[in-house]
Amino acid sequence: MKPKPNTSEEKPSLVPPFVALILSLILPGLGHILARKYRKGLTLLLAFLSAAGLWIWRVTVVARREVGFAAMFTKAIRLEPILILIFVLLVLMYILIALDAYKSAHISKPNSLLLWVTVLVAFFVLGWQIGEIQPAVLIRNGKNSLPLLMRVLWPWEKAVYYPEELLIGSADVVIPCAGVELETPKLEADAPYLTVDPTCGDLSEIGGKEGTRLKVTGGNFSPNTETEIWWVDQVRNEFRYRYGGDYVKVTTDDNGSFQLDVVIPYRVIPTQGEKGYVVWQLEARQVASIGKPVISEELKLSVEKMVETIFLGMMSTFFGVILSIPISFLASRNLMSANWFTKTIYMIIRTILNIVRSIESLVWAVIAIIAVGLGPFAGILALTIHSIAALGKLYSEAIESIDHGPVEAIQATGANWLQTVWYAVIPQIIPPFVSFTIYRWDINVRMSTVIGMVGGGGIGYLLIQWIRLLDYQSAGIAIWFIAITVAILDYVSSEIRERFI
């Protein structure tokens, strides 16, 4: 006869209900324990103590500058009113535990739904406070992230660029008119040019008369492009021409020419030199795109690093598979239960696999970087180590779950050990092995996109650099490549899996 599962529940309580209630008021849960509801009592005790402890911790965190608990309490509930709700829930929990203890002492299965709901709600509200959850902030400020999000989601402006050239046409202006004839510089036939009429004039006066108005004609510029007008004075000071306070811009026509009136501006510093005149240059400047669009450095880097990432995942899967196959045979119970020696090997290997597997690949990457330095090799090492542990376990479980029948049948034909493994074990473990390998390859490629963040090579390194430089468009390019690769990989691996299984 099997013993009934909860014999303790059927025995009468050690204490009368009223005593259980009092005891539960002294220490929540104690009443239950003495009413022989050990597990429930311990759970409630633990729940109450941890909830109360967490609440006190949050109060001291919120009002850490106050002295004395009363002052802290007042300050804390003023700053974070949610704390008072948690306090109410705690009190409610305390009372409900006591009442439940009273009921438990004379009924075998009291209805404790309200109590458990209170416990859950108390922890939920605590979690809300500890997690500093503020949906209002999200709603109020969430839109701030939109421009950034757009740059990440659509980064392709950064993927190509158009090479540009600065076109300048210049003409000399003599200030003031001194009857000096300047040589007109000879220009190549196609070069941009600028002519002024007249070629001399007077400066504007501050708050007084306007300077000479010059008729400026430009030609051979790139058509339909915005052009800026600059002055360069006798000491090569450059300043952009304004009229009425605004910068003057002109757009060229279809032939790349323009016409414009320019008034000689005022100048505080003295203009007269030894000769009694100075020569300024009037310049028209244009930034024009030339030639075809060019693939940007960011895009090239992303492609290069993505290729590196895919191979990083592939190589680590390859090494992981090669090394984990022999290990998996040593880690499968059915093959290793022959005697105490093999059983010991099985235990040791299983333990090592579990420890190695429970350490994240990122941690292994940091360790590998110390060993072999930054770069993809460290990433391959880290992922290989983690793959061996994970695959070793999965493979050995596949070996453990094979059907023993065929093994028996092949043995019965007089086959030796190697023939038995080859004919009865291997055919059975191929499908799970293929499936686990592809699954791991999938994981490794996805992990290798992240492993670069600690310096283990691959696209993650670029990604984290660009995020730190606030270059969200470039980061967007990297993210797009990762997403595309993972999607393709998903498709390919499911296809392969279908073929094999």
Partner 1 sequence: MLEIRNLTKIYDDGTVALRDVSFDIPDGEFLVIIGLSGSGKSTLLRCINRLIDPTEGQIIWNGIDIAKLEGQDLRNVRRKIGMVFQQFNLVKRSSVLMNVMAGRLGYAPTWRSITGRFDEADKQRAINAMKRMGITDQANKRADELSGGQQQRVGIARALMQEPEIILADEPVASLDPVLAHSILQHLESLNKDDGMTILCSLHYLDLVQRYSTSVIGLREGRVVYQGNKQQIMRMTDAEFKTIYGEEAERMGGITGEIAEQDITAAGEEIEL
Residues binding partner 1 (CB under 8 A): 403, 405-406, 408-416, 418-419, 422-424, 427-428, 430-431
Q: How far is the CB of 428 from partner 1 (least distance, A)?
A: 7
Distance in angstroms (rounded) separating the CA atoms of residues 365 and 380: 8
CB of 408 to partner 1, least distance (A): 6
Longest dimension (CA), the chain: 128
State the nearest-atom distance from the C-beta of 339 to partner 1, in Å.
Answer: 12
Going from the C-alpha of 181 to that of each of 184, 189, 278, 482, the distances in angstroms are 9, 23, 12, 66
- Distance of closest approach, residue 498 Cβ to partner 1, in angstroms: 15
Which residue in 45, 16, 15, 8 sits closest to 30, CA to CA? Answer: 45
**185 preceded by cis ω (within 30°)?**
no
Comparison of 20 and 424: residue with beta carbon closer to partner 1: 424
In the complex, the smallest distance separating the C-beta of residue 500 from partner 1, rounded to whole angstroms, is: 10
**Count of C-beta atoms within a 10 Å radius of residue 249:** 12
CB-count burial class (<10 Å; 0-12, 13-18, 19+) for 495 = exposed
Q: Smallest distance, Å, CB 321 to partner 1?
A: 20
Q: How far is the CB of 337 from partner 1 (least distance, A)?
A: 10
Q: How far is the CB of 416 from partner 1 (least distance, A)?
A: 6
Q: Is 105 within 8 Å of 20 (Cβ atoms)? A: yes
Smaller CB separation from partner 1, 173 or 410: 410
Neighbours of 312 (CB within 10 A): 30
Is-contact 36 8, C-beta < 8 A?
A: yes
Quick one: tokens of 271?
């203009």
Question: 228 or 400: whose CB is closer to partner 1?
Answer: 400
Residue written as token pair 């995942």: 313
Peptide bond into 198 cis (omega under 30): yes
- Residue number, 289 or 419, with CB nearest to partner 1: 419
Taking the least distance from each CB to partner 1, the nearer of 1 and 412 is 412
**Shortest reach from residue 346's CB to partner 1, in Å:** 17
> Residue 231 has which token pair?
């002055």
Q: For residue 354, give both structure tokens.
A: 């579990």
Name which of 185 and 405 has its Cβ closer to partner 1: 405
The residue (of 162 and 500) whose beta carbon lies closer to partner 1 is 500
Nearer to partner 1, 284 or 336 (CB): 336
Closer to partner 1 by CB, 8 or 419: give it: 419
What interhelical angle do 38-62 and 82-104 show, nearest 10? 160
Of 355 and 501, which CB lies nearer to partner 1 in the complex structure? 501
Look up residue 135 and give its amino acid: P
Give the residue among 100, 92, 115, 112 at the shortest CA–CA distance from 13.
100
The CB-of-415 to partner 1 minimum distance in angstroms stands at 4
Q: How far apart are CA 343 and CA 326, in angstroms?
A: 16
Choose among 114, 80, 75: nearest CA to 97. 114
Contact 287, 227 (CB under 8 A): no
Exposure string for 382-395, b = 16+ CB within 10 A, e = fewer: bbbbbbbbbbbbbb
Q: Is 87 left (phi over 0), alpha (psi -120 to 50) or beta?
A: alpha
| Token output for 14 | 């050690």
When the beta carbons of 226 and 408 are compared against partner 1, the nearer one is 408
Tell the smallest beta-carbon distance from residue 421 to partner 1 (Å).
10
DSSP code per residue over 73-128: HHHHHHH-THHHHHHHHHHHHHHHHHHHHHHHTTSSS---HHHHHHHHHHHHHHHH
Smallest distance from the beta carbon of 44 to partner 1, in angstroms? 42
**In the complex, minimum distance from the CB of residue 91 to partner 1, in angstroms, rounded to a whole number:** 57
Task: Name the residue nearer to partner 1 (CB basis): 322 or 430.
Answer: 430
Q: Residue 307 CB: number of other CB atoms within 10 A?
A: 14
Q: Residue by residue, what is the 3-state secondary structure of 273-290? A: CCCCCEEEEEEEEEEEEC
Q: Name the residue nearer to partner 1 (CB basis): 132 or 403.
A: 403
